[in-house]
Chain A
Amino acid sequence: MQAVENADDLWSVIAVIVTTIGGVVVAWLTSRASKSSAEKDAEVEPVIEEARKVVNLRPAVEAMAEQIAELQEEMAKVRPIAKIKYPLALNTIANFQAAHPTSTVKIPHQLKDDL
């Protein structure tokens, strides 16, 4: 009977020691995890902030790209006028002036400069 009680007491002591060690280990691991988590947060925060800024710039960049595409389209329409039709028109006016030096047709000064 005494031996059984002693065995029970021994089991209880071992159990208390083991459980205490278990609790302490979990507490210690929590402390370590919490410390590394806080350090990681501090390291990562500026990177996240930078990424957030870059990502949030995308709509502005895309809007500008759209505007540039529209301008290019417009330029494609205007380019033949500027490169071919306008010089031809100037040439025609110059020829007309040469053929009719006394003509009273008024030529706007913006064109006169280019003649």
Chain B
Amino acid sequence: MLLTDAGAMMILGAAIFTRGISYRDLGTVVLFHPLDVALPLWVDSALWTSVGVVLLVAAPWHARWFGRLALSAATGLLTLWGLLFILAPPAQFTQRGVIYIALGLVTLWAVWRGRRGEIRVVEGGADAGGRKRR
């Protein structure tokens, strides 16, 4: 299962969920993101946490429509969040925004690339005409 999109969904789900609950105790962190500034923090927290939970829950059914929807929501959220750093001070976009955008695009690329099947060759199999597998 982890060789499919479910693996990406679980990794993203855990990361996004963690980011969502991080709003509970921000400490001395200064928020620059336009949505963090404009919206109450609990809304941002709910947004990230819910997408994270949905990803984790939908991972086993990654090939079904709701699995696809969850993954699309995650990449959409990451890319949108990154792009919105354009409205923050320029350094914020180049320091943080690009990372969110890259994460969204890398996930899109990984899903587009798809799973590459693996054929296990037993010892002395066809790969080396009877030689040992490396």
Using a CB–CB cutoff of 8 Å, the interface residues on chain A facing chain B are 12, 15-16, 18-20, 22-24, 26-31, 33-38, 40-42, 44-45, 48, 51-52, 55-56, 58-59, 62
A38 CA to B79 CA in the complex, in Å? 23
The answer to whether A52 and B120 touch (CB under 8 A), given A19-B83, A31-B72, A41-B4, is yes
The answer to whether A56 and B122 touch (CB under 8 A), given A28-B72, A30-B76, is yes
Q: Are A55 and B112 in contact (CB under 8 A)?
A: no
The answer to whether A18 and B83 touch (CB under 8 A), given A44-B117, A48-B117, is yes
Residues of B within 8 A of A48 (CB): 117, 119
A33 CA to B63 CA in the complex, in Å? 11
Whether B52 is near chain A, meaning CB under 8 Å from some CB there, is: no
Q: Are A34 and B104 in contact (CB under 8 A)?
A: no
Give B108-134 as 1s and 0s: 1 = Cβ < 8 Å from A's Cβ atoms.
Answer: 100110110101111111110010000
> How many whole Å from B94's CB to the nearest CB in chain A?
16
The one of A18, A34, A40, A62 in contact with B67, judged by C-beta atoms closer than 8 angstroms, is A34
A48 CA to B124 CA in the complex, in Å? 20
Q: Are B122 and A59 in contact (CB under 8 A)?
A: yes
Q: 17 A-B pairs, CB-CB below 8 angstroms?
A: A12-B87, A15-B86, A16-B84, A20-B80, A22-B79, A23-B81, A26-B104, A30-B68, A30-B74, A31-B69, A41-B4, A41-B114, A52-B119, A56-B121, A56-B125, A59-B123, A62-B124
The answer to whether A38 and B62 touch (CB under 8 A), given A26-B104, A33-B108, A62-B130, is yes
Residues of B within 8 A of A62 (CB): 124, 130
Interface residues of B in 65-91 (CB under 8 A from A): 67-69, 71-81, 83-84, 86-87
Interface residues on B, range: 35 or more
The answer to whether A19 and B84 touch (CB under 8 A), given A26-B105, A30-B76, A38-B63, is yes
Which A residue sits closest to B68, measured CB to CB? A34
Q: Are B79 and A37 in contact (CB under 8 A)?
A: no
Which B residue sits closest to A12, measured CB to CB? B87
Q: Are B114 and A31 in contact (CB under 8 A)?
A: no
A19 CA to B124 CA in the complex, in Å? 55
The answer to whether A23 and B76 touch (CB under 8 A), given A37-B5, A55-B125, A58-B125, is yes
Q: Are A24 and B76 in contact (CB under 8 A)?
A: yes
Which A residue sits closest to B126, measured CB to CB? A58
> How many whole Å from A10's CB to the nearest CB in chain B?
13
